[in-house]
Amino acid sequence: MMYSCGLWSDSEGGVRGDLETGPTPGDLEAAQLRKIRHVLTAAKVKPGDRILEFGSGWGGLAIEVRQSRGNLLIQFWLILG
């Protein structure tokens, strides 16, 4: 999830905000958190729901879902090689 794009608001210049006005401290982190919260809302995740995540990147989804909703999130990775 963390390897896909973030969500920027119109007031931040939308997806071109960083390209046109330059990055500001914390803007990518805020955009990533906004994306995670959007996905959780769109998926209608409720407290008590269990979530299975394939490949967790840096664990941003796990941290947010546990802190904000108290859900159990199970992660696993496949490593071939």
Residues 6+ apart with CB under 8 A from 42: none
Percent of the chain scored above 90 by pLDDT? Answer: 5
pLDDT tens per residue, range 27-46 = 778 888 888 899 899 999 98
Alpha carbon of 61 to those of 14, 27, 28, 68: distances in Å?
22, 17, 15, 10
Q: What angle do CA 7, 9, 11 make, to 5 degrees?
A: 155
In this prediction the pTM is 0.70
- How is the chain split into domains, by residue range? 10-76
